[in-house]
Chain A
């Protein structure tokens, strides 16, 4: 049983650099979500896709952030010109979709980003 896979597990970079994270969802799941979690907080929603369509973006997703899911399978999250405040755990989740948003989301292990 392959769950949600995220790469890399850790990323350390200097302020101002660009970073890209990858998420491979559970294969039959057509919905894919990105969340950000900082220390001592619950995950905060960033964006989600139904198949290849990006259906919602949070106000947290500034224009330095971009997410894609080009073929409706894996997704990438890119952060340009990273800032100290971008340091966080970036979580990807997937679920079955369609109808109402009630299906459980299954999470990957996350990518921990540290900005020096």
Chain B
């Protein structure tokens, strides 16, 4: 079973629009960590944010914000006033904190965001 689901395969917006990327996760652990990574066309994965399961406080960093809701097992990512440079594939990932899976990241399939000028 897929532990991380990113239902949006591709999203296209025009510059300055706001866009939300959805992420739904599945785990039986009570302690876990959620991440977002950005993969621009150059290919390297860039870490954006980490959240632990005990901290449901939303976070804002510049034009980026994240909404973590345990009740719906979601960790959504919003880009405000999108820019062309935001065009990339965005991955949501889960890390469980117990047992044999300690340390590994489970990635979703990614959402390709294209921002048009």
Interface residues of A, Cβ cutoff 8 Å to B: 31, 33, 35, 40-45, 48, 50, 55-56, 58, 89, 91, 93, 95, 97, 100-110
Q: Are A109 and B43 in contact (CB under 8 A)?
A: yes
Residues of B within 8 A of A (CB): 4, 31, 33, 35, 37, 42-47, 50, 52, 91, 93, 95-97, 100-110
Which residues of chain B are within 8 angstroms of A108 by Cβ–Cβ distance?
A: 44
A102/B43 contact (C-beta < 8 A), A42-B107, A56-B100, A97-B103 known: no
Whole-angstrom CA separation of A101 from B34 in the bound complex: 11
Q: Are B44 and A107 in contact (CB under 8 A)?
A: yes
Q: Would A101 and B96 be within 8 Å (CB), given that A42-B91, A43-B45 are in contact?
A: yes
Q: Which B residues are CB-close (under 8 A) to A55?
A: 102-103
With A45-B104, A104-B47, A104-B50 given, name 4 new contacts (CB 8 A).
Answer: A43-B91, A43-B107, A56-B104, A106-B47
Assess whether B91 is in contact with A48, with CB atoms less than 8 Å apart: no
- Residues of A within 8 Å of B52, CB to CB, are 102
Using Cβ atoms and an 8 Å threshold, which residues of chain B touch A43? 45, 91, 105, 107
- If A42-B109, A109-B43, A110-B44 touch, does A102 touch B95 (CB 8 Å cutoff)? yes
Contact of B44 among A31, A95, A109 (CB under 8 A): A109
